Amino acid sequence: MLEGRRASRFDARRRLYSSVFGEERCFVIELKNISFAYESSREGESQLRHVDLKVEKGELVILAGRSGCGKTTLTRVLNGLCPQFYPGELTGSYLLDGQDALKIPIHQLGTMVGSVFQDPRSQFFTTNTTDEIVLGMENIPLERSVMQQRVKAVCSQMNIERLLDRRIFLLSSGEKQLIAIASVCAMEPKVIVMDEPSANLDSGAMVRLGALLYRLKEAGHTILLSEHRFHYVRDSFDRLVFMENGEISSIYSRSEALSLTGAQLTAMGLRPFEPPSFQAGGAFHPKPEDTLQASRISCMLDGRQILENVTFSAQSGRILAIAGPNGAGKSTLCRTITGLYRSMGTVQINGEYLKRKRRTQKSFFVQQDADYQLYAPTAVDEFLIGKKESPGLRQAALARLYEMGLEPFAGRHPASLSGGQKQRLLLALAAESGRELLVFDEPTSGLDGYNMRLTVKLLQRLSSEGKCLLLITHDMDLVAETADCVLYMEQGKLRYHRNVLRDL
Q: List per-block mean pLDDT (blocks of 10 residues) for the chain, which spans 504 residues.
A: 45 45 74 92 68 98 92 95 93 96 93 92 93 94 94 96 94 94 96 94 93 95 96 96 96 97 94 83 84 96 92 96 95 96 95 94 92 92 87 89 92 87 93 94 90 94 96 92 95 94 57
The candidate with the shortest Cα–Cα distance to 253, out of 9, 500, 499, 501, is: 9
Q: In 10 A of CB 348, how many CB atoms?
A: 15
Question: What pLDDT is attached to residue 389?
Answer: 76
Burial class from Cβ neighbours inside 10 Å (0-12, 13-18, 19+) for residue 350 reads middle
* Structure confidence at residue 280 (pLDDT): 76
Task: Determine the angle formed by the axes of helices 449-464 and 419-432, rounding to 10 degrees.
Answer: 10
Nearest-5° Cα angle at 306, 303 to 307: 130
The whole-number pLDDT of residue 437 equals 96
DSSP 445: T
User: Which of 44, 100, 45 minimizes the C-alpha distance to 73?
Assistant: 45
Question: What pLDDT was estimated at residue 368?
Answer: 86
Q: Give the model's pLDDT for residue 2.
A: 40
User: Do residues 319 and 471 touch, judged by C-beta distance below 8 A?
Assistant: yes
What are φ and ψ of residue 191, in 5° steps?
-125, 135
Alpha helices in 22-165 (DSSP H): 71-78, 81-84, 106-112, 129-138, 144-158
Nearest to 404 by CA among 434, 427, 385: 427
What is the amino acid identity at position 126? T
- Rounded Cα gap, residues 372 and 357, in angstroms: 19
Q: What pLDDT is attached to residue 46?
A: 57
The SS3 assignment for 280 reads strand
pLDDT value, residue 386: 83
Q: How is residue 403 annotated by DSSP? A: H
Count the Cβ atoms, other than its own, within 10 Å of residue 233.
24
Kindly give the pairing relationship between strand 493-500 and strand 280-283: antiparallel
pLDDT at 3: 44
The residues, ordered by sequence, that sit 6+ positions from 394 with a Cβ below 8 Å of its Cβ are 380, 383, 384
Check whether the bond before 83 is cis (ω within 30° of 0).
yes
Phi, psi (deg, nearest 5) at residue 72: -65, -40
The closest alpha carbon to 115, from 84, 88, 143, 91, belongs to 84
* Strand intervals (E) in 218-303: 222-226, 239-244, 247-253, 280-283, 292-301
Domains and CATH numbers, the chain: 24-268 (3.40.50.300), 279-501 (3.40.50.300)
Strand partners, 499: 485
On whether the CB atoms of residues 324 and 492 are closer than 8 A, the answer is no
Q: What is the pTM of this model?
A: 0.87
Calculate helix-pair angle for 173-187, 203-218, nearest 10 degrees: 10
Handedness of CA 99, 100, 101, 103 (dihedral sign): negative
The helix (run of H) or strand (run of E) holding residue 435 is: none
The continuous run of DSSP H or E covering 493 comes out as strand 493-500
Instruction: For residue 6, give every residue at least 6 positions away whose Cβ sits within 8 Å of its Cβ, in sequence order, or none.
Output: 250, 251
Q: How far is CA 126 from CA 113, 121, 333, in A?
A: 20, 10, 27
Q: Which amino acid is at 96?
A: L
d(CA 79, CA 225): 13
- At 494, which amino acid appears? L
136 Cα distance to chain centroid: 23
